[in-house]
Amino acid sequence: MSEKQAKDRQAIADLFDRWANANRSKDIDAIMALYHPDICSYDAVGPLQFTGAADYRAHWEKCLPKDADMIVEMQTPNIRVSGHLGVAHFLIRCGMRDPDGTEHSSWMRSSTQLEKRDGQWRIAHEHFSVPFDFENGQAQFGLEP
């Protein structure tokens, strides 16, 4: 791996750290600063896709709980970089914790495409998904890595 690739991989890893911390602190501006304006997201929560930062911001505003803490536990992302494009995949436990300590969370899969523009890495596409049981069609929220 070249020195440039190593630096790019570290910059992307740092971006994911900032994303997780901004999510936990419910800082919508810090979250959205990590996305390209033309973000396309396939989130685990519908609709089928979000296109553009304004559309995705509105979704984030609905999803961030007012009276609960965010749970964001990411495994170390597997990051690959080539030129101005990067891809990453990882498992992530997301959800919320009520004031009484009750957790509502599950492990999900995440794939992310990043693009470096004007010297800055940003998320251009992300996909979160929950596996489902083929036999009964039910989401498998109880799986753990």
pLDDT tens-digit readout, 74-98? 999 999 999 999 999 999 999 999 9
Contact 12, 81 (CB under 8 A): yes
Rounded to the nearest integer, the mean pLDDT of the chain is: 95
Tokens of 71: 């749970």
128 pLDDT exceeds 90? Answer: yes
**pTM for the structure as a whole:** 0.92
117 pLDDT exceeds 90? Answer: yes
The predicted structure's pLDDT at residue 11: 98
pLDDT tens-digit readout, 135-144? 999 888 888 8
Higher-pLDDT residue of 114 and 143 is 114
Helix (H) or strand (E) holding 50: strand 50-51
Distance (Å, rounded) from C-alpha 55 to C-alpha 40? 9
The residue extents of the domains of the chain are: 3-129
Which CATH class for the 3-129 domain? Answer: alpha beta
pLDDT tens-digit readout, 45-59? 888 999 999 999 999
Burial of 47 (0-12, 13-18, 19+ CB in 10 A): exposed
Is the previous residue joined to 37 through a cis bond, with omega within 30 degrees of 0? Answer: no
The predicted structure's pLDDT at residue 23: 96
The predicted structure's pLDDT at residue 91: 98
The predicted structure's pLDDT at residue 142: 85
